[in-house]
Amino acid sequence: MIWFTPAPAALVPPLADRLRLERRVDRRVVALTFDDGPHAQGTPAVLAELARHGATATFFLVGEQVVQRPALAREIVAAGHEVAVHGFRHTLLLRRRVAAVADDLDRAVAAIGEATGVHPVLYRPPYGVFSSGALAHVRARGWRPLLWSTWGRDWERRATPQSIARRATRRLGPGDVVLLHDSDAYSSADSWRRTAAALPSVLETVATLGIPASSVTQST
């Protein structure tokens, strides 16, 4: 069924390419991305580690989390990082009509804009899963959909800082987009702690490549 065609694109690179769904960036950087925040403990822990290494990142924010913690969303921007849209509610798009997706995105952008003054156009769907209708709608808005090329699978209950760093940096190179999470709002409890503990190793690996750890679109 056409509605489900884009769904596996995050895991099937040829499908992502065919649908023109970006998984990498055309810059000599490693783009760090964090989903599901802002989180009361996880986001500050990640921000502190990024600051210690002089790195920037893109935070795909969930509107309902921004509503709860607007000051933390502002802190992300004040620290020089990029904010992007991950929806208002963290719900699989395959289960939503386009009108419901449109309403959700309107609410997300409004929440992020009110908290930060930024109106982002970079978007990643919950779980990285698009429906055909949602993908068409996002593009009709003029937004840029982005998936990822490597991930730490840091949401898993059995993940460790070592496994997260190893997976996130496997065959890492210029242009890679790394998916991590600064929140456990939609994953295993305390997963953010393991991500924060893995981040120094991830950043040190990027440093060995001689390129910056950067946000997706902002200048380094």
Within the chain, what is the greatest distance between any pair of CA atoms? 48
Of the candidates 141, 111, 110, 99, the residue with the CA atom closest to the CA atom of residue 123: 141
| Alpha-carbon gap, residue 83 to 113, rounded angstroms | 10
Nearest Cα to Cα of residue 76 among 88, 62, 87, 89 = 62
39: annotated active-site residue: no
97 touches 133 (CB < 8 A): yes
Q: Which of 35, 176, 182, 184 is catalytic?
A: 35
Rounded to 5°, the CA angle 93-96-99 comes to 115
Candidate list 39, 81, 90, 181, residue with the active-site label: 181
| Residues 6 or more apart in contact with residue 99 via CB below 8 angstroms | none
The torsion angle over the Cα atoms of residues 139, 143, 148 and 153, rounded to 10 degrees, is -100
Q: Is 86 a catalytic residue?
A: no
Active site residues: 35, 181
